[in-house]
Amino acid sequence: MSRHYDVEAVRKEFPAAERMVYLDSGFQAPLARPVVAAIETFLREGLESAGPKSVWLDRVEQTRAKVARFLGVSADEIAFTKNTSESMNIAANALPLRAGDSVLMIHGDHPNNTYAFLNLKKKGVRIDFLPMTDVVNAETFLPYIDGTTRAISLSHVTFHAGHRFDIESIGALCADKKLYFVVDVMQAIGVVPIDVRAIQATFVGCGSHKGLLVPQGLGLLYWDQTLKELEPAYLAAASLAEIPDDLIARPDRLASSPTARRFELGNFNLPAIHALGASLDMIEQIGVKNIQNHCFDLGDHLLAQLDDLGVSLIGPRQRQHRSPHIYVVGLPATEWLSYFEEHGVRVSPERDGIRISFGMFNTIDDVDRLVHLIRGRLSKKSFKAA
């Protein structure tokens, strides 16, 4: 049962949730029936008519509009990419950073956000890392800002322990100090409500195979359209303001699109975009706040059970600082991962233990099944100190 929506009805849309205790949506969400149906429609159209391309491209724009509404922005500020890593690299290379400029980041944040900026060291840009703490907000960054600081980049929710950073206060700080602000929302989107205008970000990027329920291979990028100085590091016909009708490249017509399409390179991942349109319909019907609150309830239940067992949580416990859906428990992955797999429970190994990550379809019974397995093994002498 859930206090927030009919979780049993939602669960029926995820066959994998009936076959196993799936607690690994932070790695990849299982497919839902409406998502599969959208992909099958695309495949059937391609099979029967070799592809109604104009119809498919119309659906791309319909999905772009859905993404924009979901994030509270304009469709002209949304670009489709391949994944979070590409989105972060596009953002890092679009910022007008020069030798001597510095970027502030959090040590231990997702590597593919970090690498996108570390790659700028070859241009003479300095990357300064702040320590990871349970609470990260504007006050965390303020003492580190100096005359060389040009940007801050970090995740909204961390993948490895579920920290939920105060990105709105950091965005306000960046606006006050006139810094660029780049946010990776991969582990938040679809589970945590996101108001991009309130974040005041320059770029917001993510993939779509976790909270957005889509197979791998599709990413999103928001760009603050008022920042016209931010140009892509590459050029393609699709990214131009004026695409020549005869498709002959002209050196005197190289202006970038005035929209976020300036960051797109051409052919889209059409089946994944079709899938995203269906998943957004599903998520919005349930409500992101409802999904968040349901996952918080599952997390509260998990924490109470872990406390009863004397098993530690890695990362923040308070709701205002933790993600609703990601929890890392202090059980060594080398000793516990195969045990869970053998008993039909899907989780992930993480830096400091086992990561449990909830989806909209999980129930209290899923948590209780996990806890039952932990309790049973801890009751054996060889695992009492694990």
- Reading across the β-sheet that carries 149-155, which strands appear in turn? 78-81, 219-223, 203-207, 180-184, 149-155, 102-106, 126-130
Do 124 and 234 lie in a common domain? yes
User: pLDDT at position 381, please?
Assistant: 59
The pair of structure tokens assigned to 45 is 């159209």
Task: Give me the pLDDT at residue 386, please.
Answer: 46
CA-to-CA distance for 77 and 93, rounded, in angstroms? 17
Q: Which of 248, 269, 284 is the last residue of a domain?
A: 284
User: Which residue, of 268, 284, 300, is where some domain finishes?
Assistant: 284
* Whole-number pLDDT of residue 51: 84
Say whether both 274 and 377 belong to one domain: no
321 domain-assigned = yes
The per-residue pLDDT for 383 is 61
Q: Are residues 254 and 302 in the same domain?
A: no
* pLDDT band with cut points at 50, 70 and 90 for residue 161: very high
Do 359 and 239 lie in one domain? The reply is: no
Q: Give per-residue pLDDT as tens, 287-305.
A: 999 999 999 999 999 999 9
Domain of residue 235, CATH code? 3.40.640.10
What pLDDT does 385 receive?
40
DSSP letter for 282, please: H
| pLDDT bracket for residue 25 (50, 70, 90) | very high
Together in a domain, 234 and 326: no
Average pLDDT over residues 209-227: 97
- Return all residues near 19 (Cβ < 8 A) that are at least 6 apart: none
Same domain assignment for residues 265 and 353: no
Asked, for residue 148, whether it belongs to a domain, the answer is yes
pLDDT in tens, 102-112: 999 999 999 99
* Residues 296 and 278 occupy one common structural domain: no
Instruction: Tell me the CATH number at 328.
Output: 3.90.1150.10
Mean pLDDT of the chain: 96
> Alpha helix (H) ranges present in 261-362?
270-286, 288-309, 333-342
Instruction: Work out how many domains the chain is built from and give that number.
Output: 2
| pLDDT tens readout for residues 236-257 | 999 999 999 899 999 999 999 9
- Check whether residue 149 and residue 191 sit in a common domain: yes
Classify residue 2: in a domain, yes or no: no
49 & 191 share domain? yes
Q: Are residues 105 and 16 in the same domain?
A: no
Task: Please indicate, yes or no, if residue 1 is contained in any of the structural domains.
Answer: no
* Count of Cβ atoms closer than 10 Å to residue 56 Cβ: 17
Looking at the fold, whether 191 and 61 belong to one and the same domain comes out as: yes
User: Is 238 buried (19+), middle (13-18) or exposed (0-12) by CB count in 10 A?
Assistant: middle
Task: Please tell me the predicted confidence (pLDDT) of residue 214.
Answer: 98
The answer on 336 and 265 residing in a single domain is: no
So what's the pLDDT on residue 323?
A: 96
Helix axes 53-71, 33-49, angle to 10 degrees: 160
Q: Would residue 264 count as lying in a domain?
A: yes
In a domain, 88, yes or no: yes
214 in a structural domain: yes
Q: What is the pLDDT of residues 137-153, one digit of tens each?
A: 999 999 999 999 999 99
Give the residue from 240, 263, 284 where a domain finishes: 284
Within-domain flag for 23: yes
Q: How far apart are CA 103 and CA 118, in angstroms?
A: 9
Main-chain phi, psi angles of 147, to 5 degrees: -65, -15
Residues paired with residue 366 on neighbouring β-strands, in sequence order:
none
Give residue 368's domain range. 7-30+287-383
